A and B are shown apart, each in its own frame.
Chain A
Amino acid sequence: MFARRRFAVLKNLLEYVGIEPGRLHFSWISSAEAEKFQKTVAAVTEDVKALGPAQHMIKDIRKVA
């Protein structure tokens, strides 16, 4: 429940700085909800794949300064 507030603020902040909304997900899943867990993970994976590689917050160390 505390996490709900923190994630609400974090999600807004990340979108505010230009990180795509699809990269942060939040769900309530009980330890008994195996099927929901499986489905959520599959959905998140799909969403992130669709977004492609992240453009921001990635440090490319191969780049010559």
Chain B
Amino acid sequence: MSQKILAKNKLDAFLQGLCRDQDLFAPVMKDGKVGWAPVATADQALWDFSNTEMSPKDFFFPQTECMMRFKNVQGDPQGMIMQAEPALNRPRVLLNIRPCDAKAFQVLDLIFVQDEMTNDLYWRDKREKTTLIGLACNDPCPTCFCTTVGSNPHGTTGLDVLLVDLGDKFLAQALTAKGEALVGDLPAAAGGDEAKAAELKKAAEGKISGGVAMDKVNSREVMELYDAPLWDRVMESCLNCGTCTFCCPTCHCFDIQDETQGQDGRRVRNWDYCMSWLFTMHGTGHNPRGTKKDRVRQRFMHKFKYIPVKRGGEIGCVGCGRCVRLCPVNIDVRQVVNDMNA
């Protein structure tokens, strides 16, 4: 695919092209926090930031999502029969998404879409209608550890276009046919531009200081890790809150509930989390993950052992560091995984 140049003074024209028949979103500064919002011009979007506070997963997997509706009348010919919500009506572009977050979507693709039965159309529809334009990280922050979990500050996985900030311009790398269509008309990059991007990539990789080692986690059996003594310490301070899972780009557990209001009814899914006691509770009162330790362990085992075992070695973590930054009691995933690997 082609390597193009996007001059910084041509950004507005580029963005205008993007939002002509699509909804365009980008990271913006809101109340001192970096979050996603619709943008129309280049100066509305952020171009120099570490990452958004929360992951962009809710573009594809909203925290609350209506799946179906029904007429809440028994006896009516149409009553009580579930009708799926319509699909997304406009395609979307996510601009300046970080490579770690894009990689996370590809991990989630492996879970949401597996075969004819495990084929989450809600996820899939939004994925197929969304174009991802990534912005490479030249300055990873101290909590980033993407390179140690198979991602990269300049990673291209899951992206349609990768932008690399070269100072006065961006190197725009088309990665898919969708991406090619967006940047195909831009001027071609020179050899020097690509060399500079490669240098920045190397420099960015070098700035990732801490990380996780996975070799022993990979080679050990599930039960050896499960029974390891470390969990007794990890769980001690844990609050069993949902912060780590809700800010995580790969956490994807959910609950489905019905709601009614007079003759209207809907089936909604909401994010749920394995830290919650209620999550696995049986109707009989039996709870297979009845203790805090069980629940804390589940999160780490799921990401670093269960997903890799089941999904061809793919790790359920992209090293974005959000949980490290936001955990109210500083449970640091890097430390936990290194303890698993010890």
* Any A–B CB pair closer than 8 Å: yes
Residues in A lying within 8 Å of B, measured CB to CB: 59-62, 64-65
Offer 11 A-B interface pairs, CB within 8 angstroms, sorted by A: A59-B259, A61-B66, A61-B260, A61-B261, A61-B266, A62-B261, A64-B66, A65-B62, A65-B64, A65-B65, A65-B66
Interface of B is mostly: strand
A65 cross-chain contacts in B, Cβ below 8 A: 62, 64-66
List 13 other contacts, CB 8 Å, given A59-B259, A65-B65.
A59-B261, A60-B261, A61-B66, A61-B259, A61-B260, A61-B264, A61-B265, A61-B266, A62-B261, A62-B264, A65-B62, A65-B64, A65-B66
A64 cross-chain contacts in B, Cβ below 8 A: 66
| Contact string against A for B residues 258-271, beta-carbon threshold 8 Å, 1 for contact and 0 otherwise | 01110011100000
| Nearest-Cβ distance from residue B62 to partner chain A, whole angstroms | 7
CB interface residues, B 58-77, toward A, < 8 Å? 62, 64-66
Q: Considering only CB atoms, which chain A residue lies closest to B266 in the complex? A: A61
Pairs of residues from A and B, 10 with the lowest C-beta to C-beta distance, nearest first: A61-B261, A61-B259, A62-B264, A61-B266, A61-B264, A65-B66, A62-B261, A65-B64, A65-B62, A60-B261
Give Cα distance in the complex from A65 to B59, angstroms.
Answer: 12
Give Cα distance in the complex from A61 to B261, angstroms.
Answer: 7
B65 cross-chain contacts in A, Cβ below 8 A: 65
| Nearest-Cβ distance from residue B88 to partner chain A, whole angstroms | 12
| Nearest-Cβ distance from residue B201 to partner chain A, whole angstroms | 39
Q: Which of A59, A61, A64 has the most CB of B within 10 A?
A: A61
A62 cross-chain contacts in B, Cβ below 8 A: 261, 264
| Nearest-Cβ distance from residue B251 to partner chain A, whole angstroms | 21
Q: Considering only CB atoms, which chain B residue lies closest to A65 in the complex? A: B66
CB interface residues, B 279-331, toward A, < 8 Å? none
Give Cα distance in the complex from A61 to B259, angstroms.
Answer: 7
| Nearest-Cβ distance from residue A28 to partner chain B, whole angstroms | 35
B62 cross-chain contacts in A, Cβ below 8 A: 65
B261 cross-chain contacts in A, Cβ below 8 A: 59-62
A59 cross-chain contacts in B, Cβ below 8 A: 259, 261
| Nearest-Cβ distance from residue B244 to partner chain A, whole angstroms | 25
Give Cα distance in the complex from A2 to B66, angstroms.
Answer: 42
Q: Considering only CB atoms, which chain B residue lies closest to A64 in the complex? A: B66
Q: Considering only CB atoms, which chain B residue lies closest to A58 in the complex? A: B261
